[in-house]
Amino acid sequence: MATYVIQRLGLMLLTLFAIVTLTFFLMHAVPGGPFVSERMLAPEIEASLNAKFGLSDPIWLQYLHYLRGIAMFDLGPSFKYPGVSVNQMIADGLPVTLRLGLLAVICVVALGVPMGIVAALNRNKWPDTGVMLLATMGVAIPSYVIATVLLYVFALKLGWVPTFGLDDWRGYILPVLALAGFWISFVARLSRSSLLETFEQDYMTTARAKGLRPGQVLFKHGLRNSLIPVVTVLGPVVANLVTGSFVIEQIFALPGIGRHFVLSITNRDYTAIMGITIFYAALLMVMILIVDLLYLWLDPRIKLSGQSA
Amino acid sequence: MSEETIAPAMWEKLDRSASETEVIATPSLTYWQDVRKRLWANKPAVVSIGFIVLLILAAIFGPIFSPFSYSDQNLKLANLPPVFEPYRVTDSSGASTRFFLNASNFNLYQVSEGGQVEEIIRGERKDMLKKRQAFKFGDQAVTLDYSSLPAKLLNADGSVLRPEGLQWNMTYLFGTDQLGRDVLVRQMIGARISLTVAFVATLVNFFIGIFYGGIAGYVGGKTDAVMMRIVEIISTIPLTLYVILLMVVLDSGLISIVVAIGSVFWVDMARMVRGQILMLKSQDYVAAARTMGAGTGRILTKHLLPNSVGPILVTLTMLIPSAIFIESFMSFIGLGVTPPLASWGTLTSEAVETLRAYPHQLFFPAAAISLTMFAFNFLGDGLRDALDPRLRK
């Protein structure tokens, strides 16, 4: 277990290093500098600005500086908002993004799995058809389309929920649903097919034959075994829900990291783009690691193979 | 107990040569014939193929035959709906005018009997305080009253004018957008751009993936270990972020999108190809080919790759919708093709801007993306089932 965790952490650091390097050199491949604009600055001012931000140094020195900053969790200043650091931007947005992401994960589990169960129990009857239709739609329709349609119907036409902002709990409903839509459908489909496969197993027949009540058969024997594939995809799900939020944050005007990211793209705020990318990557990798460890802890069979590997 | 009598003829020996035990009743099919048969039996997949073919034809030929260009603006005829309710006013000389009211921008447009949009109707000065505007049709006066919504048209005597029912917009079948461009032709240009991006990016992914996975799988050993470690690192990087970064560096435009998507999403393909090659290279026929003196290149291209065509095809079909998805996503956040060019993503984001007043504008791009995603998903599922020899009946 410990060696596995250490291995994973090592790989994670290596990946992060690769990401930082790639991001740094990509952003420095952009022609022009931050102070090259329509308003021609006096060359002296430009030179002193460049010197202040270390932009006149050779590129490898800048790279080392940046690496040192990252190692000390300092992502540098924003180019567009003087006096605001990228760290501050992230600290502003993180609570909103995390809250949305976690609520969406809860939604995925709390809605997707029961939908799959209902469909599997009523195979080829109308609840199954309904759930599968909904799930197919959820997989095929892009999240921003779902978001705008939800916004139009429930916020503009019916007025049940506010169109933007998170002032009360109702503000969360639409963004979370739009964010989770794809994965709810995905998990519903997955748990349906996995449950149907489990129903075919001999131990299910045994459980029924020895006289267990249907509820016991389903929950104790069926679900526990059929949910393993669902737990496996939860890692990528968590990762995707946290990054997937930037369009949703944009549409619902929520002040999360995603919105900062999209804004810094439109503003061409290069340090912010770099910083947020690196932060996102790190966040995702930590999330995936946590989910994988949880998974090890949940399923004893995996633990053995994980140790031997 | 009664005795049953058996006719002596029944005890005669059968002619062995005439027996039909060894005849195979069904015609023998090659693998691909079998695949085709199973694919044609899959209704959703066949419908999807039909849809995709139609879409491709519309994307290629549609804009050529359209009377409008995707970039020509006509601000006088902006935001027209695809369906309207025509009104008719006949003056004392018997001349009648048909027109419809665009309830969101309070303009009247003259239409022909057949539903062709002719021009915007100029009214008298707007009375901003009372929220009214008068229109003259010969000697008939009609007042547009928008003081309370929905806006209504009043006759001279104050009675409400009634529409003649619904009619489809025959000039602009899908209506026009906020700059008065034909939505139908933009939709087809959007299909052209989105499909081009998807196909080219998938092709780029395909070649990189085959090359990388093929080498890793075939050479094996240390090379394989290093190459796969690199793939492992790449696959933990959130790729959407990298497409975005590349787009920022390369500046928006068609080629950059293709490069950005194409250079990032080959990892799955590489993994799959490697797995296939690893599995196939230990087969006897490969050993036989090698004994006969075939070189690495020949074995790879003539023996290993053709035998992994099935899974490669399925992965390709599944890559296309995700490429469409990413492209529309990028365009949606403003990193896509540059205006006036359109893709489904830019069309959707333009429609979102006018969502409050003209919600119908969202319908066409959203439907186009969703239906295409459905089609490719069904086709991919169908192909996977058809290519799986275990499902052979």
Give the ipTM. 0.73
What are the residue ranges spanned by the domains of chain A? 2-71, 86-298
Q: How many angstroms separate the CA atoms of B336 and B190, rounded? A: 12
Q: What local confidence, expressed as pLDDT, does residue A305 receive?
A: 45
pLDDT at A300: 63
* B244: contact with A, CB 8 A cutoff: yes
CB contact under 8 A, B373 and A141: yes
- CB contact (8 A) between residue A140 and residue B374: yes
Q: Which residues pair with B136 in a beta bridge?
A: B141
19-58 in B: which are within 8 Å (CB) of A?
none
- Chain B: give the shortest CA distance to residue A215, in Å: 33
Identify from B237, B263, B379 which residue to disrupt to test chain A contact, counting A C-beta atoms within 10 A and taking the largest count. Answer: B237
What per-residue confidence (pLDDT) applies to A50? 72
Chain A residues within 8 angstroms (CB to CB) of chain B:
11-12, 14-15, 18-19, 22-23, 26-27, 29-30, 136-137, 139-142, 144-145, 148-149, 151-152, 156, 239, 243, 246-247, 250-251, 262, 265-266, 268, 273, 277, 280-281, 284-285, 288
Lowest mean pLDDT among A213-217, B302-306, B387-391: B387-391
Q: Which two tokens stand for residue B142?
A: 């009609």
B252 shares contact with chain A (CB less than 8 Å): no
Q: Give A20's contacts in chain B (Cβ within 8 Å).
A: none
Residues of chain B contacting A140 with CB distance shorter than 8 Å:
370, 373-374, 377
> Which chain A residue has the Cα nearest residue B375?
A140
Q: Is pLDDT of A274 > 80?
A: yes
Question: What's the average model confidence in pLDDT over A114-125?
Answer: 85
The yes-or-no verdict on residue A303 having pLDDT over 60 is no
Task: Please report where in the chains the tokens 């799995």 appear, as a residue.
Answer: A113
- Cα A18 to its chain centre, rounded Å, is 20
Pick the closest to residue B178 from B362, B370, B367, B369 (CA basis): B362
Q: Is the peptide bond before A255 cis (omega within 30 degrees of 0)?
A: no
Q: According to CATH, what is the number of the domain A86-298?
A: 1.10.3720.10
- pLDDT band (50, 70, 90) for residue B389: low
Mean pLDDT of chain B: 79
- The pLDDT value given to residue B53: 92
Which of A261-275, A292-306, B83-97: highest mean pLDDT? A261-275
Report the pLDDT value the prediction gives residue A298, as an integer from 0 to 100. 67
How many other CB atoms are there within 10 angstroms of residue A222's CB atom? 23
Residue B370 to residue A137, Cβ atoms within 8 A: yes
Contact B97, B174 (CB under 8 A): no
Percent of residues, chain B, with pLDDT higher than 90: 2
- Whether A151 and B355 lie within 8 Å, measured CB to CB: yes
Q: Which structure tokens are listed for B314?
A: 């399925």
pLDDT at B228 over 80: yes
Pairwise CA distance, residues B194 & B327, whole Å:
7
Chain A residues touching B356 at Cβ < 8 A: 156
pLDDT of residue B293: 85
The 10 Å Cβ neighbour count of residue A202 is 7
**Yes or no, beta carbons of A140 and B377 under 8 Å apart:** yes
Query: Sign (positive/negative) of CA torsion A82, A87, A93, A97?
Result: positive
**Residue B237 in contact with partner chain A when CB distance is under 8 A:** yes
Q: Which residue of A has its CA nearest to B330?
A: A247
**pTM of the predicted model, to two decimals?**
0.78
The C-alpha atoms of residue B15 and residue B19 are separated, in whole angstroms, by 7
pLDDT at A9: 86
Among B325, B332, B347, B363, pick the best mutation site for testing chain A contact (most A Cβ within 10 A): B332
Residue B149 near chain A (CB below 8 Å): no
Q: Measure the CA–CA gap between A267 and A153, rounded to whole angstroms.
A: 32
Pairing mode, strands B83-84 and B126-127: unpaired
H or E segment at B135? strand B132-137
Residue A308 is predicted with a pLDDT of: 39
Nearest to B91 by CA among B155, B16, B3: B155
